[in-house]
């Protein structure tokens, strides 16, 4: 499943390709992938892509001179975006890219947006949990309201974060995975964040100290930014839209490292279940 750094990598690279392009047609191959919206083509033809924003893992396309029309895009488990230029060269990203994904449109292509310069943006989604959804400003705002603030944002308020943690009686890991509380951290990045902050994933959120809360916020920001800088993780051959493999997995300290030695203290990394997820930590140096 693409996590935030992968989505952010795809967003930044798509942005460099499609902003300013005019839509000529929209082909829908699977109605559910566009929220069963039969008007999507009529409403998008002639529109010029102004920007691609993101909150959590939700991408939000906006259009030039349209303040009441937005396209929400979520990759969920298996979504991919591929941009195919007028020369036929494909660049793509999202879930598990294989060679056949680049035959576009392909078996798993659910919708294609065509542009006036004969380039196209293909949305692939094998499992069909992802979506492209056209909405208005109220719909966009409602979607954004479902996400808490992002620690990756330089304005993230660590005092607010600490005060909110004090009211939560779940394991800290569960709190960090709750996107309505803080947005953007998935399973891999929560484990990495907590290792860096030296906090055990099973610790109850309301027992986290102010200093630890600040360490968690800083660690999550660092781990996400470092991952974005190298194009995300690539457990299932994730490729960003420049066609490179993300290689953050080379930098993982605990995720998937069970049985190995902790590089900080020499303890042995363990894998347990916490918050319903496979969870990796060092019992020696994470308290």
Give me the half-sphere count of Cα atoms (radius 13 Å) on the Cβ side of residue 5. 28
Q: Give yes or no: 263 in active site.
A: no
Contact residue for Zn ion among 23, 113, 199, 262 (CB under 5 A): 262
Q: Which residues pair with 112 in a beta bridge?
A: 27, 122
Burial 157-172 (b: 16+ CB within 10 A, else e): eeeebbebbeebebbb
Q: Which of 105, 242, 243, 267 binds Zn ion (CB under 5 A)?
A: 267
Query: Is residue 285 a contact residue for Zn ion (CB under 5 A)?
Result: yes
- Minimum distance from CB of 198 to Zn ion (Å)? 8
Nearer to Zn ion, 249 or 264 (CB): 264
Q: Which of 168, 210, 264, 277 binds Zn ion (CB under 5 A)?
A: 264
Identify the three-state secondary structure at position 8: helix
Nearer to Zn ion, 45 or 285 (CB): 285
Establish whether 57 is a catalytic residue: yes
Catalytic annotation present for 3:
yes
Q: Decide if residue 210 touches Zn ion (CB under 5 A).
A: no
The CA distances from residue 24 to 34, 81, 118, in Å, are 17, 18, 9
Q: In what order do the strands lie in the sheet with 23-28?
A: 23-28, 109-115, 120-125, 79-84, 90-94
Strands 277-281 and 120-125: unpaired
Q: How far is the CB of 196 from Zn ion (least distance, A)?
A: 11
Considering the complex, what minimum distance in angstroms separates the CB of residue 255 from Zn ion? 14
Q: For this structure, is 5 an active site residue?
A: no
Positions in the binding site for Zn ion (CB under 5 A): 262, 264-265, 267, 282, 284-285
Enumerate the active-site residues: 2-3, 57, 277
């Amino acid at each position: 499943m693409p996590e935030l750094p992968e989505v952010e990598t795809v967003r930044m690279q798509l942005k460099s390709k499609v902003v300013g392009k005019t839509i000529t047609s929209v082909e829908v191959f699977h109605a559910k992938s566009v929220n069963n919206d039969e008007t999507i083509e009529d409403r998008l033809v002639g529109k010029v892509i102004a920007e691609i924003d993101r909150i959590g893992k939700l991408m939000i396309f906006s259009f030039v001179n349209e303040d009441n029309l937005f396209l929400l895009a979520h990759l969920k488990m298996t979504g991919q975006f591929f941009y195919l230029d007028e020369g036929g060269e494909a660049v793509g990203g999202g879930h598990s890219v294989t060679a056949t994904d680049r035959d576009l449109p392909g078996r798993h292509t659910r919708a294609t947006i065509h542009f006036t310069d004969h380039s196209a943006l293909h949305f692939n989604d094998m499992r069909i949990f992802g979506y492209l959804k056209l909405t208005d400003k109220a719909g966009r705002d409602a979607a954004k309201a479902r996400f808490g603030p992002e620690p990756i944002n330089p304005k993230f308020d660590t005092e607010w974060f600490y005060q909110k943690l004090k009211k939560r009686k779940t394991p800290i890991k569960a709190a960090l995975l709750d996107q309505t509380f803080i947005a953007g951290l998935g399973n891999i990045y929560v484990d990495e964040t907590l290792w860096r902050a030296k906090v055990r994933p099973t610790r109850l959120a309301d027992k986290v100290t102010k200093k630890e809360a600040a360490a968690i916020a800083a660690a999550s920001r660092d781990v996400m930014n470092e991952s974005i800088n190298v194009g995300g993780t690539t457990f299932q051959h994730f490729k960003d839209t420049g066609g490179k493999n993300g290689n953050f997995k080379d930098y993982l300290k605990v995720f998937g490292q069970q049985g190995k030695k902790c590089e900080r203290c020499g303890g042995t990394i363990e894998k347990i279940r916490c918050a319903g997820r496979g969870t990796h930590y060092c019992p020696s140096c994470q308290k």
